[in-house]
Structure 1
Amino acid sequence: MNYTELIEEKYAEAVKGIKEEWVNEPNTKWYKYVIGLPIQLQICYLIVVFHNQIFNGGFHQYFVNGYGQFAKETINALETIGALKKADLLQEALKIVNSKNYKDDTFRKKLLEKQIPQLFSKDDLFEPLDNLDNSYYTDDDEDIESLLGSY
């Protein structure tokens, strides 16, 4: 089995219990489900979602779509597989979005309830996050698929 097939298999296993209403409503069920996954499945889910969101619409989209609630866990997951540059980029994005340094639970709640004005009602964050997107896209040193597949 190649890395792509392995990752797809583990990702499918990770998402099979996620309910669509969890993703579309501000609640803690989605977060608790993902955090409760076995570590291999959790890491696979977090990294696949992160990578796909960044390539599809960048860091801004990652946070707006609610996946940013997993930013701290995703940073740890990226570090675990050896994607240190990408972990640093996400850490920087988290600092930009959570500029008021809310505690984790408060940040998750505000993010899911779309109560971070600079992210949802103004365009203040587009430029700094776009700069991080560009750094992510041009980083050829860390192949997420190879790193995750090897893990």
Structure 2
Amino acid sequence: MSNIKLIEEKYADAVKGIKEEWFNEHNTNWYEYIIGLPIQVQFCYLIVVFHNQIFNGGFHQYFVNGYGQFAKETIEALKTIGASKKADLLEEALSIVNSDDDPDYTFRKKLLEKQIPQLFSTDVLFETLDNLDNIYYSDENEDIEQLLGSYLKSR
């Protein structure tokens, strides 16, 4: 099976149980659902969403759209498949967005409730995060499709 087919299959498994209303609620249903998935399916969801968000609007969009609640787990997933440079970029973005160094639960809550002023109201982080986007786009050494496909095939 090709990497693309395998990734598409695992991603489809991940999203089939997601409820649309979870994206508009300030509760933990979405997070708990993703974290409760089998690890291969979870990693596939986290990495595909992360990669697509970065390419469609960058790190700023990734956090604003609520996917940043999965940043810690996505960092681990990226490291596991061998995408350590991309994991480092996400780790840097997370430390910039979570500059108060809030515990995970508190950060997720503030993110979903749009209570991070530098991200949602003043937008002072846009340029800083945009610089990380440019580094991400220029990295040709870590092919997400190849790394994720190889990881999925090895399990």
- In structure 1, the partner of 2:125 is 125
TM-score computed with the length of structure 2 as normaliser: 0.97
Report how far residue 38 of structure 1 moved.
0.3
Counterparts of 1:126 and 1:110, CA distance in 2: 18
1:13-32 counterparts in 2 under 5 A? Answer: 13-32=13-32
- In structure 1, the partner of 2:4 is 4
Counterparts of 1:107 and 1:83, CA distance in 2: 24
- In structure 1, the partner of 2:144 is 144
State the one-letter code of the partner of 2:114. Answer: K
- SS, match of residue 18 in structure 1: coil
Report how far residue 24 of structure 1 moved.
1.8
Q: Contact 2:64 / 2:111 at 8 angstroms: preserved in 1? A: yes
- SS, match of residue 108 in structure 1: helix
1:79-118 counterparts in 2 under 5 A? Answer: 79-118=79-118
Counterparts of 2:26 and 2:118, CA distance in 1: 19
Report how far residue 25 of structure 1 moved.
1.4
Listed one character per residue, the Cα deviations across residues 47-79 of structure 1 (whole Å, up to 9, x for unaligned) are: 000000000000000000000000000000000
Q: What count of residue pairs does the alignment treat as equivalent?
A: 151
Cα root mean square deviation, aligned:
0.4
Q: Contact 2:117 / 2:123 at 8 angstroms: preserved in 1? A: no
TM-score computed with the length of structure 1 as normaliser: 0.99
Deviates further, 61-70 or 16-25: 16-25
Counterparts of 1:136 and 1:24, CA distance in 2: 29
- SS, match of residue 115 in structure 2: coil
State the one-letter code of the partner of 1:73. Answer: E
Counterparts of 2:93 and 2:68, CA distance in 1: 10
Listed one character per residue, the Cα deviations across residues 82-105 of structure 1 (whole Å, up to 9, x for unaligned) are: 000000000000000000000000
Q: Contact 2:22 / 2:30 at 8 angstroms: preserved in 1? A: yes
- In structure 2, the partner of 1:78 is 78
Runs of 4 or more, structure 1, over 6 Å off, are none
- In structure 2, the partner of 1:54 is 54
- In structure 1, the partner of 2:39 is 39
State the one-letter code of the partner of 2:68. Answer: G
State the one-letter code of the partner of 2:2. Answer: N
Counterparts of 1:50 and 1:28, CA distance in 2: 19
State the one-letter code of the partner of 1:144. Answer: I
Report how far residue 26 of structure 1 moved.
1.3
